[in-house]
């Protein structure tokens, strides 16, 4: 199956509102002629609503960077998936390594977030990835497997639109990218896990993105691997020049 490429930008906790608006406009104007791939941005929470207004009529998908697993209630400081849908999000990043490591998010919490996102019709972008010491001690596959099982093990099925992002922690924001073959090896492992769990059709439909220091200089080689269906970009998605180059790889 030919999977449509997905190029996603995770802005993390960066940019002023003015900068976020300019960046959105520049990206929207820069992709008008692009038909053969999907483009997504994940701005910080307070910018989602103003950006939704800007994206009317645009093909860009809007994603949040996180959500709470409950739909509403006394959870001071949290944001629910229903709120995200209300302000125009179609996607939500779940289990980013910064959430797992800095905010001690557990597999159980991630699984609950995935459940809620699926129930309310938000498409999850589930992030998995090993730390440097885990790679160096040959635990990459066991870590990825346990993250997949922790997040998805309890599910009977997932929609074809479900997205998984392989983001080796040692490659995030470090300038050190996994080589295309290192990434491909893990992507193929993830696809095989999906095949065993959800069947052949799902495994050929679901997109697996690579994330970790993706730049205009390395996108082409990464995208030439057969199981790399797109990228999740942090730093290089904050400037339209580099993000548009990545989009047009």
Identity of the residue, 150 or 212, whose beta carbon is nearer to ligand PEP in the bound complex:
212
Do the beta carbons of residue 93 and residue 62 sit within 8 Å?
no
Tell me which stretch binds ligand PEP (CB under 6 A): 55-63, 150-158, 207-215, 239-247: 207-215
Based on the shown chain and the rule CB under 6 A, indicate whether residue 242 belongs to the binding site for ligand PEP.
Answer: no
Identity of the residue, 126 or 203, whose beta carbon is nearer to ligand PEP in the bound complex:
126
Q: Site map for ligand PEP, 150-179, x if CB under 6 A?
A: -----------------x----xx------
Position among 129, 150, 168, 234 found at the interface with ligand PEP (CB under 6 A): 234
Identity of the residue, 201 or 241, whose beta carbon is nearer to ligand PEP in the bound complex:
241
CA gap 154, 142 in Å, rounded? 18
CA gap 187, 73 in Å, rounded? 37
Do the beta carbons of residue 84 and residue 67 sit within 8 Å?
yes
Burial class (CB in 10 A: 0-12, 13-18, 19+), 151: buried
Q: Output b/e per residue, 126-142; b: 16+ Cβ within 10 A.
A: bbbbbbeebbeeeebee
Based on the shown chain and the rule CB under 6 A, indicate whether residue 212 belongs to the binding site for ligand PEP.
Answer: yes
| Pair of tokens at residue 119 | 């129930």
Position among 60, 186, 235, 244 found at the interface with ligand PEP (CB under 6 A): 235
Based on the shown chain and the rule CB under 6 A, indicate whether residue 232 belongs to the binding site for ligand PEP.
Answer: yes
Q: Which residue is listed with tokens 């997949």?
A: 148
Nearest approach, Cβ of residue 176 and ligand PEP (Å): 9
Identity of the residue, 67 or 232, whose beta carbon is nearer to ligand PEP in the bound complex:
232
From the CA atom positions of the chain, what is the Rg in Å? 17
At 81, phi and psi to the nearest 5? -60, -35
Identity of the residue, 97 or 203, whose beta carbon is nearer to ligand PEP in the bound complex:
97
Do the beta carbons of residue 75 and residue 116 sit within 8 Å?
no
Catalytic sites, residue numbers: 96, 167
Based on the shown chain and the rule CB under 6 A, indicate whether residue 213 belongs to the binding site for ligand PEP.
Answer: yes
Do the beta carbons of residue 121 and residue 84 sit within 8 Å?
no
Burial class (CB in 10 A: 0-12, 13-18, 19+), 112: middle
Q: Which residue is at the shortest CB distance from ligand PEP? A: 234
- Nearest CA to 166 out of 97, 107, 120, 111 is that of 97
Nearest approach, Cβ of residue 204 and ligand PEP (Å): 25
Based on the shown chain and the rule CB under 6 A, indicate whether residue 23 belongs to the binding site for ligand PEP.
Answer: no
Nearest approach, Cβ of residue 71 and ligand PEP (Å): 26
Query: Binding residues for ligand PEP, per CB under 6 A?
Result: 10, 167, 172-173, 211-214, 232-236
């Amino acid at each position: 199956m030919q999977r449509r490429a997905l190029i996603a930008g995770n802005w993390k906790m960066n940019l002023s509102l003015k900068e976020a608006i300019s960046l959105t406009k520049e990206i929207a104007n820069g992709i008008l002629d692009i038909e053969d791939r999907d483009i997504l941005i994940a701005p910080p929470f307070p910018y989602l609503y103003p950006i939704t207004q800007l994206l009317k009529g645009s093909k860009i998908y809007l994603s949040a960077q996180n959500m709470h697993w409950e739909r509403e209630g006394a959870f001071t400081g949290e944001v629910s998936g229903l709120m995200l849908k209300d302000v125009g999000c179609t996607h939500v990043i779940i289990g980013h390594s910064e959430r797992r490591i800095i905010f001690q998010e557990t597999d159980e919490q991630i699984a609950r977030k995935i459940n809620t996102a699926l129930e309310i019709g938000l498409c999850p972008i589930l992030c998995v990835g090993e730390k440097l010491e885990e790679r160096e001690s040959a635990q990459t596959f066991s870590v990825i497997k346990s993250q997949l099982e922790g997040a998805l093990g309890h599910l009977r099925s997932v929609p074809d639109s479900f997205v998984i992002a392989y983001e080796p922690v040692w490659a995030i924001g470090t300038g050190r990218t996994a080589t295309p073959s290192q990434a491909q090896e893990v992507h193929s492992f993830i696809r095989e896990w999906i095949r065993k769990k959800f069947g052949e059709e799902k495994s050929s439909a679901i997109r697996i993105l690579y994330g970790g220091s993706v730049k205009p200089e390395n996108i082409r080689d990464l995208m030439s691997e057969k199981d790399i269906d797109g990228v999740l970009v942090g730093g290089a998605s904050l400037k339209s020049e580099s993000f548009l180059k990545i989009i047009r790889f």
